[in-house]
Amino acid sequence: AALKDGLRSQVSAALKEGRVTPTELCQRCLALIKSTKFLNAYITVAEETALKQAEESEERYKRGMLVYGIPIAVKDKKNAAGIETTCASNMLKGYISPYNATVVQKLLDHGAVLLGKTNLDEFAMGSGSTDGVFGPVRNPWSYSKQYKEKSVPKCHSEDEESNWVITGGSSGGSAAAVSSFTCFAALGSDTGGSTRNPAAHCGVVGLKPTYGLISRHGLIPLVNSMDVPGILTRCVDDAAVLLGSLKKHDPKDSTTIQDDFKKKKLPNLTDVSKLSIGIPKEYHAPGLSSEILALWSKAADLFRNAGAKVVEVSLPHTPYSIVCYHVLCTAEVASNMARFDGLEYGHRSDTKDSTESMYAATRREGFNDVVRGRILSGNYFLLKQNYEKYFVKAQKVRRLIANDFVKVFRSGVDILLTPTTLSDAAPYTEFIQEDNRTRSAQDDILTQAANMAGLPAINVPTALSERGLPVGLQFIGRSFQEKQLLTVAKWFEKQVQFPVIQLEEVKRHDNAVFQHQKSASFS
């Protein structure tokens, strides 16, 4: 039952009191990973090292650690020493990381158990987690009682196989892993919405921290000026604890700020009357489902009825954030992907004629269409004749987008409330009808601007759609004001009481050792 309620805080308490050992917990998660293999959430399961870490965790003195014994999963875009890091690409198949990304190191230092690396779109380019070389990730909710009850099977034998829905992306594997209880928290990445989008579709909390708060050292970069490591958990409190263990200046990442942040527990907000919630009208984007629009409206009412000030605001350059992102992203990608040439690591072509032809052949063989497409587009926008017209122009538009937020926050608004996605998760067969770039442009529309401005944002699972699938809402906060953002998110989470997923697989693993605890508190 604890796996079902699956809150890190409850499990932490159980671990501390010795009612369950890290090894038992780890074994249980590993078993669940095996039985949910059809989700394709994991690329690599580090069974041996995980069990070893769990055993080492059992030493008494480690019990005080922040995430002691907690099994976590990491998006396969972050280096974890001794484990293959592929970015779901042929280019890095067989690449064994020689070091830990700072975020991975920090979690291990705080006692976490690394279960494995999760699946994604190749090099995090995509919004469905469908375009990696290891195949698409399946949304665990496809197999939930809630979805099955609502779906009309076209034909008995076909229904499960053809009806499954996507996780969203690009951190789909991480979202699916957390959603299906195979781990208690996962790390993703967020450049255009890659943590919040799958979080919304998989019914989990997805936090995008402020740019500069958490180290990117070891996170294989997509867009250096926008990437952040993302945090996926089953509740806001868990996300806060993980954030606490990760936020710190890192001398290895010069874009992390030097301020010091105290690790404090999230307060329980009871009075929202001093809050001012902004509803940006441009987020009523074309294509927004009437269901989500209604939910968004209901949420605004929730705050209003509780005494908060709820105002409509305007972020006029919102419609341009996707175009702006398109140019800046491809330009930075063109630069970042230049390192993959087969010489020092990764795939290497057999061509021996010349260095250039070896590089060209290696990249021909190693990258998929999406990646190659973005590299070529990026190079186009960076050509001398296009530089001012596209790249610099996009940088100017970026400032306008960032300024929109500054103006709104300066006018007294504390937090913005918006939808996270345009609709609930699409069936895979429907999703793949459009190409990757089109889909990304459609799906990132509500999440991208926060990356453009570097602001913290979080998806909170809100309700189930008519199809029985999760829908989330997004809160965007001021720079480095994660405490306020998470406090409000936690209040909202408590009001909406999002239902627990009912999965057959998880029921089978339930064990009387874990009893539901009503008042569990960490530390």
Partner 1 sequence: QKVSVEVLEHLEHLALVDFRDSEGVERLQKAIQFADQLHQVNTDGVEPMDSVLEDRWCLYLREDDVTEGNCTKELLENAREKVEEYFVAPPGNIPLPKLEERKTFLQGS
Q: Which residues bind partner 1 (CB under 8 A)?
A: 95-96, 98-99, 211-212, 225, 251, 254-258, 317, 320, 323-324, 326-327, 330, 334, 341-346, 348, 351-360, 363-364, 367, 369, 372-373, 375-377, 379-381, 383, 389-390, 392-400, 402, 435, 437, 441, 453-454, 479
Q: How far is the CB of 411 from partner 1 (least distance, A)?
A: 19
Q: How far is the CB of 208 from partner 1 (least distance, A)?
A: 13
Q: Would you say 119 or 436 has its CB closer to partner 1?
A: 436
Q: Would you say 419 or 454 has its CB closer to partner 1?
A: 454
HEC-encoded secondary structure of 203-214: CCEEEECCCCCE
The first and second tokens of residue 317, run together, are 């350059």
Q: How far is the CB of 246 from partner 1 (least distance, A)?
A: 17
Residue 157 annotated as catalytic: no
Q: Would you say 433 or 497 has its CB closer to partner 1?
A: 433
Q: Would you say 372 or 509 has its CB closer to partner 1?
A: 372
Q: Would you say 337 or 415 has its CB closer to partner 1?
A: 337
Residue 276 annotated as catalytic: no
Candidate list 142, 170, 215, 440, residue with the active-site label: 170
Rg (CA), the chain: 22
Q: Would you say 165 or 334 has its CB closer to partner 1?
A: 334
Which residues, 6 or more positions from 96, have their beta carbon under 8 angstroms from its beta carbon?
A: 82, 83, 84, 85
Q: How far is the CB of 395 from partner 1 (least distance, A)?
A: 3
Candidate list 194, 245, 423, 479, residue with the active-site label: 194
CB crowding 148-160: b at 16 or more within 10 Å, else e: beebeeeeeeeee
Virtual torsion, Cα 107, 108, 114, 117, nearest 10 deg: 60
Q: How far is the CB of 262 from partner 1 (least distance, A)?
A: 19
DSSP 346-363: S---S--S-HHHHHHHHH
Q: Would you say 64 or 316 has its CB closer to partner 1?
A: 316
Q: How far is the CB of 319 from partner 1 (least distance, A)?
A: 9
Per DSSP bridges, beta strands 71-75 and 113-118 are parallel
Q: Would you say 180 or 330 has its CB closer to partner 1?
A: 330
Neighbours of 312 (CB within 10 A): 9
Residue 167's Cβ-count burial label (10 Å; 0-12, 13-18, 19+) is buried
Between the alpha carbon of residue 324 and those of residues 286, 409, 452, the distances in Å are 18, 22, 9
Length of the chain in terms of residues written: 523
Q: How far is the CB of 70 from partner 1 (least distance, A)?
A: 28
Is the separation of the CB atoms in 73 and 174 below 8 Å? Answer: yes
Q: How far is the CB of 114 from partner 1 (least distance, A)?
A: 19
Residue 75 annotated as catalytic: yes
DSSP 437-469: HHHHHHHTTTTHHHHHHT--EEEEEEEE-TTS-
Which residues, 6 or more positions from 192, have their beta carbon under 8 angstroms from its beta carbon?
A: 127, 226, 325, 329, 440, 444, 447, 448, 451
HEC-encoded secondary structure of 123-168: HHCCCCCCCCCCCCCECHHHHEHHHHHHCCCCCCCCHHHHHCEECC
The arrangement of strands across the sheet holding 276-280 comes to: 42-45, 113-118, 71-75, 185-190, 228-233, 205-208, 457-464, 470-476, 415-419, 276-280, 309-313
Candidate list 12, 57, 75, 144, residue with the active-site label: 75
Q: Mind telling me the catalytic residues?
A: 75, 170, 194
